[in-house]
Amino acid sequence: MLNFLKTLPFVDANRIGVHGWSFGGFMTTNLMLRYPDTFKVGVAGGPVIDWSYYEVMYGERYMDTPETNPEGYKDSNMKLKAGNLKGHLLVIHGGVDPTCVPQHTYSFMKACIEAGTYPDLFIYPGHEHGVVGKDRVHLNNKMTQYFDEFLK
């Protein structure tokens, strides 16, 4: 799909950004770390960083257990790829997220510090897995400003 998009006359292949929330946040982080020369900017909201931290009901449905699929869990652990970050990545998390607990983001930030990479972080205090109410307007403005600043 990305190769197709790059063929379109209105797509600038040097300015490609990606955004997602929850599993989409995982995919955003994953794309930024696996294809650092392709994706220049990403905004990952409530991202799963390490599937061994995620709720069993969802994670093990698709990945089996860490004991039966150690390579799958290792390959999808974004902390182990933190050193690959080249572009601008904004990680956003709800401060009291019970679905994708903040430990995901905090452990990723620690891995980035250890790897010498510099993602940006924004926490929405009091919010769970989604940002709602008037803070949602702030969130949408924050994401728009981030893409505007780093994709120009």
Express each pLDDT in 46-96 by its tens digit: 999 999 988 888 889 999 999 999 999 999 999 999 999 999 999 999 999
19, 97, 104, 107: which is the annotated catalytic residue? 97
Pair of tokens at residue 98 = 């019970």
Average pLDDT over residues 113-140: 98
Active site residue 52: no
Q: How far apart are CA 43 and CA 20, in angstroms?
A: 7
19, 22, 104, 127: which is the annotated catalytic residue? 22
3-state SS class at 38? coil
Q: The whole model's pTM is what?
A: 0.95
**Where exactly are the structural domains of the chain?**
19-151
List, for residues 10-21, the tens digit of each pLDDT value: 999 999 999 999
Q: What are phi and psi of 9, to 5 degrees?
A: -65, -20
Please give the DSSP secondary-structure letter assigned to residue 47. -
Q: How far apart are CA 37 and CA 40, in angstroms?
A: 7
Active site residue 129: yes
Active site residue 107: no
Which class in CATH covers the domain with range 19-151? alpha beta
Residue 1 has pLDDT above 90, yes or no: no
